[in-house]
A and B are shown apart, each in its own frame.
Chain A
Amino acid sequence: MNFREKTAWLNVVAMLAAYSLYFGLLLAGHAAGREVFPMLWLFGSIAVAHAVIVIAGTVILSAQAPKSERARADERDRAIRRRGATTAYYVLLVGMMVVGVYMPFVESGAPLANAGLFAIVAAELVNSAVVLMSYRRGWHG
């Protein structure tokens, strides 16, 4: 498994862990699901923890990887990244449409922001999944 594949796995695992906790707490009745300030605190804490884990993991993976693997992305890496981003775009597009439809039925901004956040997380997970699948199974660009 090369360096770029490992960083994609790191992103998936960190994002799944961070946002499973976040949305799990919302489903369990945390105030962040209804009120703006608790939502900002919870989201802020989880986003910072997520960022720290990804940065620390990337630093460790970079230190372990041979220099040749850390070189600039080549045409295959870019083709795979484009494929992931293109697929994720449609997930985000549909997610934002759902948020738009949901908007008239909510009174505060918190549920709406959480719905938007869920769409972004889903799109990012799809992006990473497509990237990982393309590295494993091949992609002709």
Chain B
Amino acid sequence: MARPPFTNDIRTLRFLAGEMTQGDLGDRVGVTRQTIAAIEQGKYSPSLEVAFRIAHVFGKPLETVFQWDETGD
């Protein structure tokens, strides 16, 4: 499975947010823990809505959470 042409800092942001668990983030965003794990590992590209919800949980702009990877495309 090809990786998406963007990376994310969700793992780091969770750590900085008081070691928030994947399950906690999933509950706040409205997806399962497994889906958060898949997003972190680059195995699933979230919808725009879920991406915005994740950014909103951390109080960060979208581009701080997801970055376009110039080398990946």
User: A residues within 8 Å of B by Cβ?
Assistant: 2, 68-69, 71, 74-77, 79, 137-141
Contacts and interface: CB of A to CB of B under 8 A. Distances in A.
B30 A74 contact: yes
Contacts of A71: 32
Given A138-B42, A140-B44, A141-B45, A76 B31 contact: yes
B contact patch SS: loop
B16 interface: no
Interface size class of B (residues with CB under 8 A): 20 to 34
A140 B32 contact: no
Contacts of B17: none
Max count, chain B CB within 10 A of own CB: residue among A74, A137, A139, A141: A74
A77 B44 contact: no
B6 to A, nearest CB: 11
A61 to B, nearest CB: 15
Contacts of B42: 138
B52 to A, nearest CB: 13
B32 A77 contact: yes
B60 interface: no
